[in-house]
Structure 1
């Protein structure tokens, strides 16, 4: 026999090889008989769970993108409605302003016409009063001049005739 320290790593011991082979085959048989199917089932279940998770994530991503598109569409619609409402409000305000301006112009025109009418009436009244005053003064003057030769009614008629001739 070889000394223990002289044995190389490549030397083969057939007895040990035989028992290692028998143990390995027995282990392989027991592994395939009892553990192989559960291990494969567990791996298959894990693979299915991962696939389902990936599919669910893809579906959730697609749903989120669809919701995002719908939100953008709704936002654009809301902006369009807002712009339309703003435009309508501006148009209504402009129409209301124009209506108020028109009413104010009509009111001013009416007031101006009333003022003109009042001025014309006051002018006629003042002229009438002025005529009466002038005729009274003229009658007084004439009656003083004539020293009461004519009566007042005749003097008034003469003065009124004179004033009409002046117009």
Structure 2
């Protein structure tokens, strides 16, 4: 079995306590300071990461807000463009209607004038033809003296009646 002597235990304990004392006086403070420094740097890194995460979240929100604003502006511009397009089309239709009405009125006036001219020409031709026919009829009827006297008597009697 194991045999342990008291002297070895005592000297080992004394050596351990000396090493422990030396470590506490010389190495413990720098080791603890380095551990604290490492803890602080880890805390700072975690805080920086958290801050960066918050900034990224804020940037994401800001980007989303900018995108929404840009979409709204685009939609407004499209709406304005559609309104302008509709207005231009409406104005063009109105102008076309006005021009159509002008052309239609002008055509109606031209037709009316042509009709009046044609009617006047027809009346003139009818009058000319009537005179020519009357002239020929009267010449035929008035070839003889007897017929001329009868016609004059007839007109005289009609004139006396009136």
Q: What is the TM-score when the length of structure 1 is the normalising length? A: 0.75
> How far, CA to CA, are the matches of 2:40 and 2:126 in structure 1?
125
String of CA shifts for 1:28-74, please: whole Å, max 9, x gaps: 12212321122111101100110000000110011111111111212
Structure with the bigger RCO (C-alpha within 8 Å, sep 6+) is 1
The unaligned stretches of length 5 or more in structure 2 are 143-162
Q: Of 33, 40, 54, which residue of structure 2 is paired with 1:62?
A: 54
1:115 is aligned to 107
1:140 aligns with 2:132: yes
Match of 1:13 in 2: 5
How many residue pairs match? The answer is 141
**Structure 2 residue matching 1:143: 3-state secondary structure:** helix
Q: Deviations over 1:57-114 (max 9, x none)?
A: 1100111111111112122222222222222222222222222222111111111111
- State the match for 1:105 in structure 2: 97
Map 1:39-118 to 2 at 5 A.
39-118=31-110
Report the Cα distance in structure 2 between the residues aligned to 1:97 and 1:15, rounded to whole angstroms.
114
4+ long deviations beyond 4 Å: none
RMSD, matched Cα: 2.0
Q: Which has the higher helix share?
A: 2
1:131 matched to 2:123? The reply is: yes
Whole-Å separation in 2 of the counterparts to 1:66 and 1:33: 49
